[in-house]
Structure 1
Amino acid sequence: VPFIVYGAGIDAARHSDPVSTTDFAPTLAARLGLTPPTDLDGRDVLR
């Protein structure tokens, strides 16, 4: 699944690791400085 993240403080990069739509919420939460709920299946793909 293509996953594009753009914004201030996010360095340009290309990752070949597979991502899923379940990764969207944890990634967005981390960028907003929030701790995602522990019951989410996804992961922060920018870590």
Structure 2
Amino acid sequence: MIKQNILFDFTVNVGWRKQYCGVKTLVYQDIRYYFIDNLYYFGRP
């Protein structure tokens, strides 16, 4: 089973609003991948 781990998350000030940003990591076949998590910008229907 492949599992992503949450490294950290924080809030980013974007103009007048605040946006969630999460950073996740995954190790697959000895290669580390990083993922940026934000549903506002990266969410798909």
TM-score (norm 1): 0.18
- Structure with the bigger percentage of helix: 1
**Larger Rg belongs to:** 2
- Structure with the bigger percentage of strand: 2
Q: RCO (CA 8 Å, sep 6+): is it higher in 1 or 2?
A: 1
